[in-house]
């Protein structure tokens, strides 16, 4: 979708724009800094908007999340406390409005890489992220209390029902809606089988790639938690593996290396063969988290992008059921799709 012409009242309404500047100025003043008069550099997306302001200490980044994603501000603040050194230091958070203020972290890992298909760099970042997930497993209930969405396997059926009950999504699905309903038992069996793997739920970033990672003080900082959910930890593998294979042409050997680098921290408590066996099922069901992320939009921009949103959710759900039926021996063919 083309977001070039999107506008938010947050920036077009002088009163709302002023409230953002006052809030940023107050947060900076608490740190002995001052907001400069330079106009912000704004980037609007349907699910969030960011703006680069200039402070006396240098650039700072403001972020506002769409309804349903406001939890990111509180989550980021909590992550800074729970796993210090794994996220950027927040300069301010407004839990009620879903606003956050972050320091400029320089260039992303993607921008620092000599080649974006240097999978050795990806392996190191995935291992560090997975270790962060392992540490956060004990915080699952705390994250749910912050309104981070519940995408644990047992909750996925309710989410699917919600999508099927949405007339716009059902229309975009076409006969795919009947396909999902007719294969609901297979979907439920997948969810239960994943739940039975015994791995604890943790934080799923849901959009993990080298563009969301910074390297500071010799360690990785993971950013952009607006799509996150509490779910099976291996849901996080969907995006990096798809990017590596589909966009960067990773061969099966490179894909296995990335998978195993991610799984390594979990081998401390679980046998590696069982972990590897859980990955295909987890990455299939991770499409539910991506669908949920696509369901969040700013009301200001929804009319212009809603049709594309519903088509994307429908695509994800079709591919989900295609993957599930293809994995069940003897199941009817659900049609072509991405696995």
Write the pLDDT tens digit of every residue in 186-227: 999 999 999 999 999 999 999 999 999 999 988 999 999 999
Number of domains in the chain: 2
If asked whether residues 82 and 123 sit together in one domain, one would say no
If asked whether residues 146 and 93 sit together in one domain, one would say no
If asked whether residues 124 and 96 sit together in one domain, one would say no
If asked whether residues 259 and 136 sit together in one domain, one would say yes
| pLDDT grade for 4, boundaries at 50, 70 and 90 | confident
- Which candidate, 335, 220, 339, places its Cα nearest to that of 286? 339
Q: Is the pLDDT assigned to residue 329 strictly greater than 60?
A: no
How large is the average pLDDT for residues 57-78? 96
Residue 50: which domain range? Answer: 9-103
If asked whether residues 73 and 202 sit together in one domain, one would say no
pLDDT for 90-143, tens place per residue? 999 999 999 999 999 999 999 999 999 999 999 999 999 999 999 999 999 999
What is the pLDDT, as a whole number, of residue 29? 97
| pLDDT grade for 334, boundaries at 50, 70 and 90 | very low
In a domain, 2, yes or no: no
In a domain, 219, yes or no: yes
Q: Give the position of tokens 């519903």.
A: 310
If asked whether residues 124 and 230 sit together in one domain, one would say yes
Q: Is the pLDDT assigned to residue 163 strictly greater than 60?
A: yes
Cβ within 8 Å of residue 144, ≥6 positions away: 150, 230
If asked whether residues 213 and 237 sit together in one domain, one would say yes
If asked whether residues 90 and 125 sit together in one domain, one would say no
Residue after which a domain boundary falls, among 103, 136, 168:
103
The radius of gyration computed from the CA coordinates of the chain, to the nearest angstrom, equals 20
In a domain, 335, yes or no: no
In a domain, 215, yes or no: yes
Count of C-beta atoms within a 10 Å radius of residue 225 = 23
CATH code for position 85: 3.30.200
In a domain, 4, yes or no: no
If asked whether residues 21 and 124 sit together in one domain, one would say no
* C-beta separation of 247 from 240 below 8 A: no
In a domain, 336, yes or no: no
User: What percent helix, strand, coil does the chain show, rounded to 5?
Assistant: 55, 15, 30
pTM: 0.93
Q: Give, in degrees to the nearest 5, the angle at Cα 86 between 148 and 41.
A: 75
DSSP 129-186: HHHHHHHHGGGHHHHHHTT--EE-GGGHHHHHHHHHT-HHHHHHHTTHHHHHHHTHHH
If asked whether residues 196 and 307 sit together in one domain, one would say yes
If asked whether residues 80 and 122 sit together in one domain, one would say no
CATH code for position 120: 3.90.1200.10
SS3 249: coil
How large is the average pLDDT for residues 315-337? 68
Express as a percent the part of the chain with pLDDT over 70: 96
How high does pLDDT run on average in the chain?
93
In a domain, 339, yes or no: no
| Cα–Cα distance measured from residue 79 to residue 248, given in angstroms and rounded to the nearest whole number | 31
If asked whether residues 242 and 202 sit together in one domain, one would say yes
Task: Using CA atoms of 233, 206, 148, 169 in order, give the dihedral in degrees to the nearest 10.
Answer: -120
| pLDDT grade for 1, boundaries at 50, 70 and 90 | confident
In a domain, 120, yes or no: yes
| Cα–Cα distance measured from residue 267 to residue 20, given in angstroms and rounded to the nearest whole number | 46
pLDDT for 296-310, tens place per residue? 999 999 999 999 999
């Amino acid at each position: 979708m083309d977001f070039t012409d999107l506008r938010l009242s947050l920036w077009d309404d002088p009163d709302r724009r002023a409230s953002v500047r006052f809030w940023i100025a107050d947060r900076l003043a608490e740190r002995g800094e001052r907001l400069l008069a330079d106009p912000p550099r704004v980037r609007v997306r349907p699910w969030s908007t960011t703006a680069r302001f200039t402070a006396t200490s240098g650039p700072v980044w403001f972020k506002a999340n769409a309804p349903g994603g406001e939890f990111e501000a509180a989550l980021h603040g909590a992550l800074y406390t729970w796993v210090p050194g794994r996220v950027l230091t927040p300069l301010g958070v407004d839990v009620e409005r879903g606003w956050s203020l972050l320091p400029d972290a320089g260039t992303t890992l993607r921008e620092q890489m000599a080649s974006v298909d240097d999978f050795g760099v990806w392996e190191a970042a995935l291992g560090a992220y997975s270790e962060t997930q392992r540490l956060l497993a004990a915080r699952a209930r705390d994250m749910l209390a912050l309104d981070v969405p519940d995408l644990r396997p047992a909750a996925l059926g309710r989410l699917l029902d919600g999508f099927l009950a949405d007339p716009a999504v059902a229309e975009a699905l076409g006969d795919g809606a009947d396909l999902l309903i007719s294969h609901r038992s297979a979907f439920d069996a997948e969810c239960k089988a994943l739940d039975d793997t015994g791995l604890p739920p943790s934080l799923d970033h849901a959009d993990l790639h080298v563009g969301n990672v910074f390297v500071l003080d010799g360690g990785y900082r993971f950013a952009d938690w607006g799509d996150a959910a509490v779910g099976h930890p291996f849901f996080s593998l969907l995006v990096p593996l798809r990017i590596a294979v589909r966009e960067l042409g990773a061969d099966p050997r490179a894909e296995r290396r990335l998978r195993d680098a991610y799984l390594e921290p979990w081998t401390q408590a679980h046998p590696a063969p069982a972990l590897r066996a859980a990955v295909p099922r987890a990455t299939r069901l991770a499409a539910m988290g991506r669908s949920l992320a696509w369901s969040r939009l700013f009301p200001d921009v929804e009319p212009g992008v809603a049709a594309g949103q519903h088509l994307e959710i429908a695509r994800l759900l079709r591919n989900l059921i295609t993957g599930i039926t293809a994995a069940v021996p003897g199941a009817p063919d659900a049609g072509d799709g991405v696995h």
